Chains A and B, each alone.
Chain A
Amino acid sequence: MNANGVNPEHDATRPGPAAQDGARRIVVVGYGMIGHRCAELLAERAAAASPATAPVRITVLGEEPHEAYDRVHLGALFDGKSAEDLTYAAPPGVELRLGDPATAIDRQRKTVTTASGAEFGYDELVLATGSYPFVPPVPGHNATGAFVYRTIDDVEAIKRFAAGRKVGAVVGGGLLGLEAAGALKAMGLETHVIEFGPRLMGVQVDEGGGQALLSRIDALGVSVHTSTRTEAVEIGEDGAVYALVLAKGEDLSALPVDLVVFAAGVRARDQLGRDAGLACGERGGIRVDELCRTDDPAVYAIGECAQTVDGRVYGLVAPGYAMAETVADHLLGSDPAPFHGADLSTTLKLLGVEVASFGDAFGATPGALTALYSDSTAGLYKKLVIGEDGRLLGGILVGDASAYATLRPLAGTDSPLPATPEQLLLPASLGSAPSLGPDALPDSATVCSCHNVTKGSINAAIHEQGCADVAALKTCTKAGTGCGSCVPLLGQLLSAAGVQTSKALCRHFEQSRAELYEVVLVTGIDTFARLLAQHGTGEPDGCEVCKPAVASILASLGGTLGSGKRGSGRHILAGEQAALQDTNDHFLANLQRNGSYSVVPRIPGGEITPEKLIVIGEVARDFGLYTKITGGQRIDLFGARVEQLPLIWRRLVDAGFESGHAYGKALRTVKSCVGSEWCRYGVQESVKMAIELELRYRGLRSPHKLKAAVSGCARECAEAQSKDFGVIATEAGWNLYVGGNGGFRPRHADLFAKDLSSEELIRTIDRFLMFYIRTADRLERTAAWIERMEGGLDHLKAVILEDSLGLCAGLDRVMAEHVANYADEWRSAIEDPETLRRFVSFVNAPGTPDPEIKFEVERGQIKPLLTIGPPPQAGDGAGESGADRGGAHARGGDRPAGSEDERLVPAEVGA
């Protein structure tokens, strides 16, 4: 403490009833999702408070060493996400003390003591200590290999232990248990779920819903044991979990397992409050009133550690957030909304199965009616609970929860149903899907239940604060930043409000690239001119954006469009298409900064014979080209002028080389490590697979370039996880990763599917690529495409692996046509005199090289000598005369004068 007796940095550690600098000290104990939210709200309220009020100092004491994170999505850590991805930003201006849990409260002195012995004085204390996993006290429950599933550290420990092990079991078939089961499955373990009750997720779904869930999960290869008690955990000689002893009725059995995760429910962590003498419920939870106050008016409790006025302890995040809001408003705002209780509405995706439960899901309201749709073969179960007056009270959705976003806000409101219950329940394929638009919702309907944001507040943000997209709404209202289930509805509210987020490709087309793809696919239009005339905005011609984009679409669908001459494998420079291509595709080479081009022959998988290496060397030497080995395991030859390109390629084609498509928005390379043929550690033949993939997808035009790699073992020498699609060999086959990216914004690829056979791998990549080509925006790499995708990776998996949109047959067909129709572009080009005619520097002097392309020598090779100074002006007569240079190859004719043939002469400007 300094001479003034004020040390703002550490003032909160000083015990006593009030800070000497007059600041009001609020201490939050617990830094989980609810503690974080509370601190964030307090900081916001404090920042917005009038300057006349006392300054507020907010201190958070957290047990875990991590920053707060999204505990709801812990499972994502098994899906390629990192702890950082789940971490929340620390609220500004809040003092965080992490890894040092509170151990005692002195309510008389108004202090909190932490494990390290530090003492923090408070004016108000908020307990958000959450809950702890309940572990049934069966013998062996604390053996090595027995885990709980609650924190990032738990997840890390499970991950470490599971490596190399084969069988895992989860005790508990509730929400957390199924999440844990999903994690074990994601790690490739044979997975069992042991549930004491008669059905899965007994809290959220009823008998029928539980059946549908069971059949879905069973189909995924997870063994579910319901009505089964876990009697004991058997411990092996190594001291680790060996088997579970299970009892079903009178029958005892043993299930051999390598690890077990207890997810049999949670208990309120109320010990800190109990020890301090705060009143607690019989079954746990610090008792609070409707403002979340404990029986000590200076102490509050929120979230899973609190027993609310309705006598319940809420284990979901949305009620916790609502309590945080109540406390923050009560302490620093005004007009707190009292917390009387919350419904247990929830929607989630467990093992890829959508489950939603909302409102009066079990029909407890007197006189409630039930409308039910159930399809046990499809694992679909949908139930709506309707009140006597015809209003929606609640419902359960299993297998398809897409209606949740619009139905949940209706439940319990006075709004009538937007359609008959049967219409709302039937799958879209079985009848006209009713409009579940946001119009059906009253302004008071809660759209985001995590952050308690109503439709009215969202509309206010749109109309009064000018929010024009979902991202702005998220920032402005926080809606959609919790579980994310309301994001589709946010989009609908935006469009209902007339806010249009432009997805127009350019000024010539209002459609996005993906929409134009569909137009071409459906109409069979196979020229740019027709597409512009029939679907454009009315401009007479396109531009450098839409022309190459449409050319790419036409090329991607080249094998599919029309038939005969119009379709099958048309060359990208054939007919009208030639005029659409960017210069790279037009000259089948990469434009460099001085107007010269580079040449990249394909070297599939990076494998090349000495003879071919020698040819590349000879060509480079004979044409004086700069050579460099690329990151994609091939060789780039720089400094070729356009008229040299066919000569260079004649030599390369004769030696068996093909175009490497380095110039195209197309597959570039499939990089590989040396694989099991040579490598001591390799487990599969990665070079062979890389070559197969590269040859399969060569020439495939796509919205942006595609890079790929195959690694022969988990050491990942080919860096497959930074590629659009990356393959890593496993003992059992291949793991496929998608959406990786180097470049400006690097992104690790997501694990997409595990242990695929070679055939499965290729089929999966086929569909992935074709779905990308079909739906991505122009110049959108796979990484951005996946991040933008509604439903994200899960949706992509459903489309590709489960054919949820019924597209796969079509995707397979277009890919098969691509593969069947592939022809080397450069071979075709050098064999076609019409195409070759374009490869000249000057139309009137075909033998003359561009005199402006000049080189100097550095490190034994050429490099561009760049033009410096202002451009030569017309009439400067710069350089030699055309006649001296081999003649202006004009082909006869008199000097023209004004004539009837002049209609095309533009106005004389300049010169």
Chain B
Amino acid sequence: MSVTASKQRVWTAVCRYCELTPGRGVAALVDGVQIALFRTTAGELYAIGNRDPYSGAFVISRGVTGSRDGVPTVASPMYKHVFDLRSGTCLDDPTVALPVYPVRRYRGLVWVQR
């Protein structure tokens, strides 16, 4: 699949929905950008930046997902900072936020926009 027009928001299909383990994430490389993609236990999809700002390592996709007061979260595997999957905000330090990407499920595939 080709990616065109850099100025335009482009939807990219990255994998089948059924390939995703409920409650875990995977990393996708979209136009050179690392995106952490999660399928929560409840079946929802979220996409946020894969880089852990506290360590600089690209590991967010390997964190454990969860919930805090009903908010879907992921904890970075490096130093266990917890991020809001919806907004990318670090719940332990609201001044830090990861980029968030639109993600959707369509025809059995998972699409990410950037």
Contacts and interface: CB of A to CB of B under 8 A. Distances in A.
Contacts of A578: 21, 24
Nearest to A587: B62
A594 interface: yes
B64 A544 contact: yes
B107 A879 contact: no
Nearest to B32: A879
A250 interface: no
B34 A852 contact: yes
A463 interface: no
B82 interface: yes
Contact of B104 (A544, A868, A896, A911): A896
A82 interface: no
B78 to A, nearest CB: 7
A522 interface: no
Interface string A537-561: 0011111101110000000000000
Contact of A544 (B3, B55, B66, B86): B66
B95 interface: no
A880 to B, nearest CB: 5
B65 A842 contact: no
Given A877-B6, A885-B32, A906 B46 contact: yes
A51 interface: no
A871 B44 contact: no
A642 to B, nearest CB: 8
B75 to A, nearest CB: 4
A880 B3 CA distance: 13
A895 interface: yes
Contacts of B58: 595, 850, 852-853
Contact of B30 (A582, A838, A844, A880): A844
A890 B37 contact: no
Nearest to A581: B64
Interface string B92-110: 0000000111111111110
B111 A888 contact: no
B29 A888 contact: yes
Contacts of A874: 33, 49, 99-101, 114
A497 interface: no
Nearest to A578: B21
Nearest to B62: A583
B105 A907 contact: no
Contacts of A872: 33, 51
Given A507-B68, A595-B59, A844 B28 contact: yes
Contacts of A868: 56
Contacts of A539: 67-70
Contacts of B75: 543-544
A576 B73 CA distance: 18
Contact of B11 (A842, A892, A896): A896
Nearest to B85: A906
B98 to A, nearest CB: 8
A845 interface: yes
Interface string B5-27: 01001111111100101111011
A843 B26 contact: yes
Given A543-B66, A543-B73, A844 B14 contact: yes
B33 A593 contact: no
Contacts of B62: 583, 586-587, 591
A908 B9 CA distance: 12
B106 A901 contact: yes
A902 interface: yes
Given A895-B11, A905-B105, A909-B86, A582 B73 contact: no
B31 A881 contact: yes
Interface in A848-879: 848, 850, 852-853, 866-868, 871-879
B105 A902 contact: yes
Contact of A842 (B29, B67, B107): B29
B14 A542 contact: no
Contact of A891 (B13, B21, B27, B63): B13
Contact of A908 (B31, B64, B102): B102
26 contacts: A540-B41, A543-B67, A543-B68, A583-B62, A837-B19, A843-B37, A844-B12, A844-B15, A844-B28, A853-B58, A867-B57, A868-B56, A871-B51, A874-B49, A874-B114, A880-B32, A881-B32, A883-B2, A888-B31, A890-B15, A893-B108, A902-B104, A904-B45, A904-B105, A905-B102, A906-B46
Interface of B: 1-3, 6, 9-16, 19, 21-24, 26-34, 37, 40-46, 49, 51, 53, 55-59, 62-70, 72-73, 75, 77-78, 80, 82, 86-88, 99-109, 111, 113-114
In order of increasing CB-CB distance, the 9 nearest A-B pairs are A579-B23, A890-B13, A543-B66, A874-B99, A544-B75, A896-B106, A595-B57, A583-B77, A867-B56
